[in-house]
Structure 1
Amino acid sequence: MSYTSQYTPETLSREELNQSAGPMVIEFGTNWCGICRGAQAAIKTAMDNHPDIPHVKVEDGKGRRLGRTFGVKNWPSLIFLKNGEEMARVVRPETSRDIDAALQKIR
């Protein structure tokens, strides 16, 4: 599993994420967000270089609690987890290099 193209409603709880094993990227945003759509080329490039790292896109917004537990304020926000612990965060990435640097922290 690598790049995921669509944001989906919350399917994982914070407790499940805290107990996850290995590396994982959680991306918060929405399918209608222009900034989120504009960042997808950079996100896809970076994630395609790391096909072994799960990429989960979570639809965020009013009434969505998971993003609040991570303190998400701007979209897209990528949270880089290793064994359930946040190791890095990239908000509104402009290049795949920003994402690659964070991915190296969860290897």
Structure 2
Amino acid sequence: MGSSQSSSSKGSETSLVQAFHSSSEWRTHLDSLKESTKLMVIDFSASWCGPCRFIEPAIIALAEKYSDVIFVKIDVDELHDVAQEFGVQAMPTFVLIKGGKTVDTVVGAKKDELENKIQKHRA
């Protein structure tokens, strides 16, 4: 049936960075991690955002490198209320959460700064 990318890929790209498409699903996920000591990185992006597309392979690489960190992607146009809740004003914005609280933020496609903050907060 041709080359369907989503179903024929090994699934590594989709499973490492979890995308949320409903606010209620997102809230359930966030609530489930309130007691967790794991670091979660939320990638707030948009389909029309060039820098977001540019840094996406780096985010997937970071998710592979730091398997103890939860990586989540939220499209600001799709879940506008969630983006507003986190005060997202520019894309991409990365919000680092631990124990249900924001511990750090990186605004812009700054891979090195993001990786430094991941290393700092994942311990």
Give the TM-score normalised by structure 2.
0.69
Are residues 12 and 63 of structure 1, via their aligned partners in 2, closer, same or farther at CA, if it must alter by over 3 Å?
A: closer
Bigger share in helix: 2
Asked if structure 2 preserves the Cα contact closer than 8 Å seen for 1:28 and 1:59, the reply is yes
Structure 2 unmatched ranges of 5 or more: 1-11
Asked if structure 2 preserves the Cα contact closer than 8 Å seen for 1:7 and 1:30, the reply is no
Matched, 1:67 2:79: no
Please state how far the C-alpha of 1:7 moved relative to its aligned partner: 4.6
Asked if structure 2 preserves the Cα contact closer than 8 Å seen for 1:31 and 1:59, the reply is yes
Identity of aligned residues (%): 26
Higher radius of gyration, 1 or 2? 2
Q: Distance in 1 between matches of 2:20 and 2:97?
A: 19
CA deviation digits over 1:18-54, x for unaligned, max 9? 7251211111112332121012233233332201211
Q: Distance in 2 between matches of 1:63 and 1:19?
A: 20
- Please tell me the root mean square deviation across aligned C-alpha atoms, in Å: 2.7
Q: How many residues align?
A: 105
Q: Distance in 1 between matches of 2:81 and 2:104?
A: 20
Query: Where does residue 69 of structure 2 map in the other structure?
Result: 53
Structure 1 unmatched ranges of 5 or more: none
Q: Residue type of the partner of 2:118?
A: L
Q: What SS does structure 2 have at the residue aligned with 1:105?
A: helix
Higher relative contact order (CA 8 A, sep 6+): 1
Q: Residue type of the partner of 2:117?
A: A
Structure 2 matches for 1:10-25, cutoff 5 A?
10=22, 11-13=25-27, 16=31, 19=34, 21-22=36-37, 23-25=39-41
Query: Where does residue 34 of structure 1 map in the other structure?
Result: 50
Give the TM-score normalised by structure 1.
0.78
Which one is further off, 24-33 or 43-52?
43-52
